[in-house]
Amino acid sequence: MEISAVLLIIFVVLLVGISKSAFAGALGVFAVPLLMLKFTAIEAITLMLPLLIIADAMSVKSFWKKWDTPLLFSLIPGAILGIMIANLTMDHINPEYLRYIIALICIMFAIKNICFKQLHLSFINNRIGAYFMSASSGVSSTLVHAGGPPLIIYFTAIGLAQTKFVATAAVFIAIMNIIKLISVVSLGLLTIETVLIAVAFTPIAFMGNWLGVKLNNRLDKRLFLKMMNYLLLLLGLWLVFS
């Protein structure tokens, strides 16, 4: 493997580790596009998945039992449904259109929170909202590798506390990635070589996780939510122009 490819993987793994432990995985949407600078789309996706699961395990351990269990149980069925819908309809859905829809929602929600804080999206803060947003996360995660934005929008809308925000997102995304891993393995896309590469970069994932936890502990709630809103805006713009 070229040194440039190794350095790229190191950067992506570090970015994902920090993102999952500090910002509920918000920066994970950049992982596959960055890897595609040196790898094909299939190689990038199959390499990223075991790396994400390693980072998920570290994030879950770092925030062990700090998640919101009732909220998590209300989200998982929707996520499973979303992944199933995506797998059944992927031949009939244009991923580009879906990407633009997610981008538009991210941008509008971020602008609402930044410029019009007095407006409250009460229609999301209920059981139906949880089901819809988690299903959206499952669909977008499977089709355009951007499952984080719908989840972040929902957690921000219900005003979830900072630690529970990150911890619940870590468990939720870990479950989704395990389900996606089953699909990838069943299609024969995951090779022993890919797994060994992922394992080789585990120390970098540890470093990213450690940095992310340290960063999260230094952020107060108001700054954390403010940063999440600006990250949503950044994600929306990225999805439009990438």
H or E stretch including 231?
A: helix 221-241
Q: Look at 4-8, 60-64, 219-223 and tell me which has the smallest mean pLDDT.
A: 219-223
Amino acid at 183: S
pLDDT of residue 146 exceeding 60: yes
**Confidence at residue 120, expressed as pLDDT on a 0 to 100 scale:** 57
- Residue type present at position 146: A
pLDDT interval class at 95 (50, 70, 90): low
Question: Could you tell me the pLDDT band of residue 220, with boundaries at 50, 70 and 90?
Answer: confident
CB atoms within 10 A of CB 95: 15
Give yes or no for residue 53 having a pLDDT over 70. yes
Task: Please report the pLDDT score of residue 8 as a whole number.
Answer: 86
227 has a pLDDT exceeding 80: no
Q: Cβ distance 35 to 12 under 8 Å?
A: yes
Among candidate residues 201, 231, 183, 182, the one with its CA nearest the CA of residue 58? 201
Residue 133 has pLDDT above 70, yes or no: yes
Q: What string of DSSP letters covers 131-159?
A: HHHHHHHHHHHHHHS--HHHHHHHHHHTT
Instruction: Report angle CA 114, 75, 152 to the nearest 5 degrees.
Output: 20
51 token code pair: 């790396």
Q: How far apart are CA 165 and CA 145, in angstroms?
A: 20
In this prediction, residue 186 carries a pLDDT of 76
pTM: 0.76
Per domain, the residue ranges of the chain are: 3-241
Alpha carbon distance 217, 186 (integer Å): 39
Q: What pLDDT is recorded for position 119?
A: 57
Average pLDDT (19-27) is 73
